[in-house]
Amino acid sequence: MKITHLSVVTLDYTVSDDAGEVLDTTEGREPLVYLHGSGFLVPGLENALYDREEGDSFELTVPAMDAYGEYEESLVQEVPGELFDGMEVAEGDTFVADTDDGHRPVTIVEVSEEFVKVDANHPLAGMDLHFKVNVRGVRAATAEEIAHGHVHGDEGCGHHHHHGHGDGCCGGHGHSHDEEGCCGGHGHDDDHECCGGKGHAHDDDEHECCGGHGGCKH
């Protein structure tokens, strides 16, 4: 069976940066299982998987524009410290910002007495991603899975439930229920960074930053 729109696909993958550093891999953990065409994968990887079959293996470079996008200097901004509502923040902390464009992961890049500088670019923005992929299985989705937009059952990965930022999914845009995380989709789970996805982020203390809508909170 070939991968088509709304197939359930099982993948093994490794994703690396231009220097060859492995950003995420399914090696040593469960494979990624997701609903193809549901927006879980970064576009470049998703498009390359159409018409692939069980047993296919391939390597692929996804340019930044088809992964997490180009790096935008306009997304680096100085915001008043009072927006953080007295919380202690430090360079490298990561939050979810509730902005006019929806939820965005933001990283603290500088802290001063007057302001906090934040970067709303995804950590992998501007990076080309290099994938090694093995298609382990393809099946038709059930009507319920199609209606809900994610895979059901123990094999399912790619559910729209919770988010993480430090560790997670390389290759996708969705969100993951999976304890091991999913690389290949656009989302993040609570334990793994998404190296190819476009989900949201929480830091280790589960702070949530609400940007210009009332400051930051737990």
Closest CA relative to residue 116, chosen from 152, 164, 138, 84: 84
- The Cα-based distances of 157 to 40, 61, 149 in angstroms read 10, 23, 11
CB 41 within 8 A of CB 171: yes
* Structural domain includes residue 89: no
Residue showing tokens 């560790």: 167
Q: How far apart are the first and last CA of the chain?
A: 46
Residue 103 has pLDDT above 50, yes or no: yes
Nearest-angstrom CA–CA distance, 164 and 117: 21
* Structural domain includes residue 46: yes
Residue 90 has pLDDT above 60, yes or no: yes
DSSP 64-83: GGGTT----GGGEEEEEGGG
Q: What is the average pLDDT across 101-117? A: 85
Q: What is the average pLDDT across 10-37? A: 97
Q: Which residue range forms the structural domain that includes residue 58? A: 7-67+127-148
Predicted local confidence at residue 201, as pLDDT: 34
How many Å separate Cα 120 from the centre of its chain?
14
- The Cα-based distances of 44 to 15, 25, 93, 208 in angstroms read 13, 17, 29, 30
* Structural domain includes residue 62: yes
Predicted local confidence at residue 81, as pLDDT: 80
How many Å separate Cα 160 from the centre of its chain?
12
Residue 156 has pLDDT above 70, yes or no: no
Residue 180 φ/ψ, nearest 5 degrees: -90, -5
Predicted local confidence at residue 184, as pLDDT: 43
Q: What total number of domains does the chain contain? A: 1
pLDDT digits (tens, 9 = 90+) for 170-191: 555 443 333 333 344 444 333 3
**Mean confidence (pLDDT) of the chain:** 76
Encoded tokens for 35: 């609903």
* Structural domain includes residue 110: no
Predicted local confidence at residue 35, as pLDDT: 97
pLDDT digits (tens, 9 = 90+) for 59-84: 999 999 999 999 999 999 998 887 77
* Structural domain includes residue 142: yes
* Structural domain includes residue 25: yes
CATH number at 63 reads: 3.10.50.40
* Structural domain includes residue 73: no
| Amino acid letter, residue 54 | E
pLDDT band at 155 (very low <50, low <70, confident <90, very high): low
Nearest-angstrom CA–CA distance, 6 and 49: 12
Residue 166 has pLDDT above 70, yes or no: no
Predicted local confidence at residue 139, as pLDDT: 97
Predicted local confidence at residue 183, as pLDDT: 41
* Structural domain includes residue 12: yes
Residue 145 has pLDDT above 80, yes or no: yes
Q: What is the average pLDDT across 104-119? A: 88
Q: Partners of 15 in the beta sheet? A: 24, 131
Residue 23 has pLDDT above 70, yes or no: yes
